[in-house]
């Protein structure tokens, strides 16, 4: 019997179904560009996919582990406002909406991405006002 397909809207807020949006990246080793990687990492936070987040983190800045199981943040959506690819580097600026303890918050960050051997990695980010 084929396994049942659960159709959910992708947590990244693209408007597409998860299976047509970020899931293929979650099931492989990453995304074809930094903007898609950013979206898939956001979805991974929303879904608690710690391994995916660590695997797409640049080795120089990658934390030892995340503690998503104890994280009560409710991720509400992602808006990418700038995407500047430049060879093996890229900048993605985004606003992530979430709820923390029932309070709506916005995270505005400019993130750096780098491509190593054909794979994109998140390097680090800077918060914006």
Binding stretches for Zn ion (CB under 5 A): 10, 12, 14, 21-22, 39, 43
Smaller CB separation from Zn ion, 74 or 102: 74
Is residue 38 within 8 A of residue 92, CB to CB? The reply is yes
Closest CA to 77 of 100, 99, 53, 96: 96
Smallest distance from Zn ion to CB 58, Å: 21
Task: Report the distance separating Cα 100 and Cα 28, nearest Å.
Answer: 30
Is the dihedral angle over the CA atoms 29, 122, 62, 60 positive or is it negative? positive
Smaller CB separation from Zn ion, 45 or 121: 45
Smallest distance from Zn ion to CB 13, Å: 7
Smallest distance from Zn ion to CB 71, Å: 19
């Amino acid at each position: 019997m084929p396994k049942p397909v659960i159709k959910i809207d992708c947590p990244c807020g693209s408007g597409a179904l998860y299976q047509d949006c970020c899931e293929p990246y979650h099931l492989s080793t990453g995304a074809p560009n930094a903007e898609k990687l950013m979206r898939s990492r956001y979805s991974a936070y929303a879904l608690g996919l710690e391994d995916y987040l660590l695997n797409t983190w640049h080795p120089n800045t990658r934390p030892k582990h995340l503690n998503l199981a104890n994280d009560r943040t409710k991720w509400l959506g992602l808006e990418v406002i700038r995407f500047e690819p430049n060879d093996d580097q890229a900048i993605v600026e985004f606003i992530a909406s979430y709820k923390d303890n029932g309070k709506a918050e916005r995270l505005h960050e400019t993130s750096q991405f780098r491509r190593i051997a054909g794979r994109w990695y998140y390097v680090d980010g800077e918060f914006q006002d």
